[in-house]
Amino acid sequence: MKIPIEFVVNGEPQALFVKPNHTLLDVLRDDLGLLGAKKGCGEGKCGTCTVIMDGKPVNSCLILAPRADGSDIITVEGLADGEPHPMQKAFVEQGAVQCGFCTPGMIMTACALLDEKSDPSEEEIRLALSGNLCRCTGYAKIVEAVQVCAQRIQQDKGA
């Protein structure tokens, strides 16, 4: 009853047999040992399971495992390129990380936002992140971190 899927996770091709009744989140966490994406609710309401699928942030807890066949997935583990991603640095430096449970999902959404729009307004940042709940920070420092990261990326491009 398991069925084969092939997909790319964090740049690495993967060929797996998955149970159709499992989700992409189950596959990432249990089959691939990528524990960065979290299960905060399992109902697509908290955003802790957010990964980038074919360039777009999605709730991996609502994607059936076989649907990942042929897709390109990036998880929080795939962001760092030798050294941490600028978004990861900005989150840490700005104090946007408290308990950290929302952080991987939050960072994935934030990165996807900057991929789509390099200089989002504060309102656009807040709107984009509204599917990622955080109960610790009140979001202020998270929004600041995204702004700081956007500025740095812009500056690096300019330089």
Residues 84-113 that bind another protein (CB under 8 A): 84, 88-89, 91-93, 95, 97-104, 107, 109
- Kindly provide the residue ranges of all beta strands, DSSP E only, lying in the chain, ordered along the sequence: 3-9, 12-18, 50-53, 56-59, 72-74
> Bridge partners of 53?
56, 73
22 binds another protein (CB under 8 A): yes
CB 57 to another protein: min, Å:
5
| Nearer to another protein among residue 14 and residue 131 (C-beta) | 131
| Nearer to another protein among residue 27 and residue 47 (C-beta) | 47
| Nearer to another protein among residue 108 and residue 159 (C-beta) | 108
What mask of x and - would describe binding to another protein in positions 108 to 137, judged by CB under 8 A? -x-------------x-xxxxxxxxxxxxx
Q: What is the dihedral of CA 59, 135, 38, 47, to 10 degrees?
A: 0
CB 8 to another protein: min, Å:
17
Number of residues that bind another protein (CB under 8 A): 76
Give the number of other CB atoms < 10 A from CB of residue 39.
15
Kindly list the distances between the CA atom of residue 113 and the CA atoms of 57, 66, 67, 100, in Å, as whole numbers in the listed order. Answer: 9, 26, 24, 20
Residues 28-67 that bind another protein (CB under 8 A): 34-48, 50, 53, 56-59, 62-64, 66-67
152 binds another protein (CB under 8 A): no
Buried b (16+ CB within 10 A) or exposed e, 59-96: bbbebebbbbeebebbbbbbbeeeeebbbbbbbeebeb
Q: Which residue has the tokens 């600041």?
A: 144
| Nearer to another protein among residue 84 and residue 158 (C-beta) | 84
